[in-house]
Amino acid sequence: MDKIKIKAEERVEQGSAAVRRLRRAGKIPAAVMRMNKGGTLLVKLDEHELLLGLRGHASKQLLVTLDMGGKEMPALMREMQNDVVKGTPIHVDFSEVSLTQKVRVVVPISLTGEAVGVKLGGGVLEQVLRSVEVECLPEDIAEKFTVDVSSLGLDQTLFVKDLQLGDKFSLVTRGEYAVAVVKAPEGADAAAPGAPAAEANPEVIKKGKEEAAGGKKEEKK
């Protein structure tokens, strides 16, 4: 992941009115959860610089370097709130991190390749899980995990435990969760189980007629 560096200034502005003035001035209010000192540091970011730094990044959890007047602070972007109409950022939450201590992040899963069960078996590929939680060093955070499903056959399932993410990542998400499955097309196996049932139907009907006939004879007696 490319390094993202954003200038940040401590802010004293609080409250809805003060925050609105900040936004009108092209600043985005943000908060940084401190790691060692504890508490929360209130900062403000330049909106243009923030958008420029995040350009091309789809992940919601990114490692950034906050430039606090020449003093750099590595931080993990945990959440960014956007304006519901304009889609522009209105607030950002960060957590200060150490580059030598592992963090837990949620990384999206992107499937690639055409499953053999789809190509040759006419099945349908269904992605069940869209992301996984992993533990890694901040500088190893991945934008996404690209998973090849080419070898997935008909009625086969790819589980979290099957993912090959490399030594840098430790899976936190439980291994028995399904990531993707190739389902057989609807009605594909209906003929097989239906055949015996079709043979059994005449016997049921015949038996029913005999019982009905027997019942009528008893009535005549």
> Could you state, in order of their start, the residue ranges of all structural domains in the chain?
4-97, 104-183
**Are 4-97 and 104-183 the same fold in CATH?**
no
Lowest-pLDDT choice from 98-107, 125-134, 199-208: 199-208
- What type of residue is 7? K
Structure tokens at 163: 């993912």
Top pLDDT among 12 and 127 is at 127
Q: Provide the percentage of residues in the chain whose pLDDT is more than 70.
A: 83
pLDDT at 108 over 90: yes
Residue 38: its pLDDT value, please?
79
Confidence tier at 88 by pLDDT (50, 70, 90): confident
- What type of residue is 161? K
pLDDT at 87 over 80: yes
The residues, ordered by sequence, that sit 6+ positions from 172 with a Cβ below 8 Å of its Cβ are 104, 132, 133, 134, 135
Residue 2: its pLDDT value, please?
66
Residue 189: its pLDDT value, please?
54
4-97 — its CATH code? 2.40.240.10
- Give whole-number Cα distances, 144 to 101, 134, 138, 191, 205, in Å: 21, 11, 14, 42, 60
**Dist. CA 186–CA 123, nearest whole Å:** 9
Lowest-pLDDT choice from 80-84, 145-149, 199-203, 211-215: 199-203
CATH architecture of the domain covering 104-183: Beta Complex (2.170)
To the question of pTM greater than 0.95 for the whole model, the response is: no
- What is the phi-psi region of residue 87: left when phi exceeds 0, alpha when psi lies from -120 to 50, beta otherwise? left
| Closest listed residue to residue 179, CA positions, set 135, 149, 134 | 149
Query: What is the average per-residue pLDDT within 70-87?
Result: 91
140: which DSSP letter? G
Structure tokens at 130: 């869209």
**Dist. CA 197–CA 191, nearest whole Å:** 10
**Dist. CA 75–CA 112, nearest whole Å:** 31
126 with 120: CB under 8 angstroms?
no
Confidence tier at 91 by pLDDT (50, 70, 90): very high
